[in-house]
């Protein structure tokens, strides 16, 4: 691609909220009524081929405006940047955003401030992949190991993973990539489904959806647990009866328990042969996860969707706290930090089974898992991407799951772009859906 003088000319943000709480989709022991939301950002440029970069942070409703404000606080660092320079070296922006000495105080590198960095950085990677006319997984898998090492963030990791270690991993990792790519394009990447197991569903719906999941080719399903032990025993029995003994049954407590309670509760459900217990306690409790893992084996311990950054992931691995790392595409500082996280997992030989669902998390994370398969871990053994069949219709390039596998995306970019009509409808509070909803509520209140 010949050099251009193109610049980032605008950084547009959107507060997008979907009214998912009305169907109890997404209900779990900690999150009874989420309205799945995206703090969404579009980088526009004056490039002749007019590509845009799309990114977002996922939230579950209230506070999505705060998340948007945090993205807007980064605008000044992005506006006017050279598109060529950004796409050649996304790490240059990543470092400026995570290193901003004043904004850093708001984290550092965690929560609202860090998710804002992730949204903007992922938008740059979307832009870079569109310009390269490749899906992101392919851009990453085709890249030289030396460049990938420059893109990964090793700060605070060098006691366990140096750039030199990473280069070795990536050089070894790419061997056989051509064969794996052929297999990926043919078969896709294995998925598991959470759709049957939301806490708000009754047993009949659980049974029906669990059977459908098996019929659809999934070999693992997931149940939300943690609100009531008797209910959980009944629901696990129901699910196990529905799917038979050979389907993996994962359990997800969504941080509901203290450490002793996590051990007691998981032990009480062990009779149903759960494959893993996910988020048994606070996502910040590395040593707690390690204690739980020691106590509940052979049930595996999985976490990561709320792991705030690579430093927490490093310690989960160092402490032997997890069997499964559930990387999240939008919780941390974007692709640059997730490159480091994938390398950490490979270094410790722990399988990555990415967290997905929400708004667009399936769309994003498939690229990272496919890159990992082609160029880092080199395997899909014991690796599955979460799949939830919600809200994909709002994306321009939605995931395609067939026979229990994610199909490799073909369109250029990071699959992050929402449909313009969805943005117009679900922008909060001014979009057509919410404006009508507010008018209806006002009418009902006045009628009372």
Residue closer to its own copies by CB (options 143, 295) is 295
Number of H helices, E strands in the chain: 18, 12
Kindly state whether residue 329 participates in binding its own copies, applying the rule CB under 8 A.
Answer: no
Kindly state whether residue 286 participates in binding its own copies, applying the rule CB under 8 A.
Answer: yes
Kindly state whether residue 332 participates in binding its own copies, applying the rule CB under 8 A.
Answer: no
CB of 116 to its own copies, least distance (A): 8
Residues 338 and 241: their CA atoms lie apart, in Å, by 38
* Burial (Cβ within 10 Å: 0-12, 13-18, ≥19) of residue 261: middle
Kindly state whether residue 97 participates in binding its own copies, applying the rule CB under 8 A.
Answer: no
Other C-beta atoms lying within 10 Å of the C-beta of residue 197: 24
CB of 236 to its own copies, least distance (A): 23
CB 3 within 8 A of CB 39: no
- Which of 20, 67, 151, 207 touches its own copies by CB under 8 A? 67
Residues 210 and 342: their CA atoms lie apart, in Å, by 31
Residue closer to its own copies by CB (options 2, 101) is 101
- Which of 24, 30, 400, 411 touches its own copies by CB under 8 A? 30
Kindly state whether residue 200 participates in binding its own copies, applying the rule CB under 8 A.
Answer: no
Residue closer to its own copies by CB (options 163, 217) is 163
Q: Where would I find the H helices in 306-410?
A: 310-318, 335-348, 361-375
Total residues contacting its own copies by CB under 8 A comes to 61
Active-site option among 355, 367, 390, 405: 355
CB 357 within 8 A of CB 173: no
Residue closer to its own copies by CB (options 114, 131) is 114
Beta partners for residue 395, in sequence order = 418
As a residue count, the chain comes to 448
Kindly state whether residue 287 participates in binding its own copies, applying the rule CB under 8 A.
Answer: yes
CB 250 within 8 A of CB 274: yes
Residues 373 and 379: their CA atoms lie apart, in Å, by 5
Annotate each residue in 146-185 with x if it binds its own copies (CB under 8 A) or - if it does not, as one string. ---------xxxxx--------------------------
224 is catalytic: yes
Residues 106 and 378: their CA atoms lie apart, in Å, by 37
Q: Kind of pairing, strands 248-252 and 274-278?
A: parallel
Active-site option among 134, 224, 289, 314: 224
Please report, as ranges, the residues that interact with its own copies according to CB under 8 A: 30-35, 59-63, 65-67, 69-70, 73, 100-115, 155-159, 255, 258-261, 281-288, 291, 306, 308-309, 311-312, 314-315, 318-319
Catalytic residues, by residue number, are 224, 355
């Amino acid at each position: 691609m010949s050099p251009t003088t193109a610049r980032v000319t605008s950084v547009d943000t959107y507060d997008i909220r979907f009214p998912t709480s009305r169907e109890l989709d997404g209900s779990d022991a900690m999150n009874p009524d989420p309205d799945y939301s995206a703090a969404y950002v579009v980088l526009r440029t004056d490039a002749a081929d007019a590509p845009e970069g799309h990114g977002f942070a996922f939230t579950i409703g209230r506070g999505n405006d705060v998340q948007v404000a945090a993205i807007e606080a980064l605008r000044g660092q992005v506006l006017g940047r050279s598109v060529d320079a950004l796409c050649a070296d996304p790490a240059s922006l990543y470092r400026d955003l995570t290193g901003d000495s004043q904004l850093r105080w708001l984290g550092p590198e965690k929560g609202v401030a860090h998710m804002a960095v992730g949204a903007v950085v992922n938008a740059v990677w979307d832009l870079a992949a569109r310009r390269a006319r490749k899906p992101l997984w392919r851009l990453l898998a085709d890249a030289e190991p030396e460049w990938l090492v420059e893109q990964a963030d090793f700060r605070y990791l060098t006691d366990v993973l140096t750039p030199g270690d990473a280069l070795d991993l990536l050089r070894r990792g790419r061997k056989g990539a051509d064969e794996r790519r052929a297999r990926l394009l043919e078969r896709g990447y294995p998925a598991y489904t959470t759709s049957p197991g939301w806490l708000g569903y009754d047993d009949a719906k659980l049974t029906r959806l669990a059977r459908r999941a098996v019929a659809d080719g999934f070999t693992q399903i997931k149940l939300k647990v943690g609100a009531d032990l008797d209910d959980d025993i009944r629901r696990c029995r129901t699910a196990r009866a529905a799917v038979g003994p050979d389907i993996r049954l994962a359990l997800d407590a969504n941080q509901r328990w203290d450490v002793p309670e996590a051990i007691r509760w998981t032990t009480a459900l062990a009779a149903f042969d759960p494959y893993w217990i996910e988020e048994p306690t606070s996502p910040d409790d590395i040593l707690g996860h390690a204690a739980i893992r020691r106590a509940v084996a052979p049930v595996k311990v999985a976490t990561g969707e709320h792991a705030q950054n690579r430093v927490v992931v490093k310690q989960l691995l160092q402490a032997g706290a997890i069997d499964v790392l559930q990387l999240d595409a939008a919780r941390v500082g974007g692709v640059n930090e997730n490159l480091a996280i994938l390398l950490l997992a490979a270094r410790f030989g722990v399988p990555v089974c990415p967290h997905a669902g929400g708004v667009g998390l399936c769309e994003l994370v498939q690229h990272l898992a496919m890159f990992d398969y082609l160029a880092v871990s080199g395997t899909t053994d014991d690796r599955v991407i979460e799949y939830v069949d919600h809200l994909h219709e709002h994306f321009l390039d939605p995931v395609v799951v067939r026979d229990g596998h994610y199909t490799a995306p073909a369109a250029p970019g990071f699959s992050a772009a929402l449909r313009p009509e969805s943005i117009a409808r679900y922008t909060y509070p001014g979009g057509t859906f919410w404006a009508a909803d507010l008018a209806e509520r006002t009418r009902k209140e006045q009628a009372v």
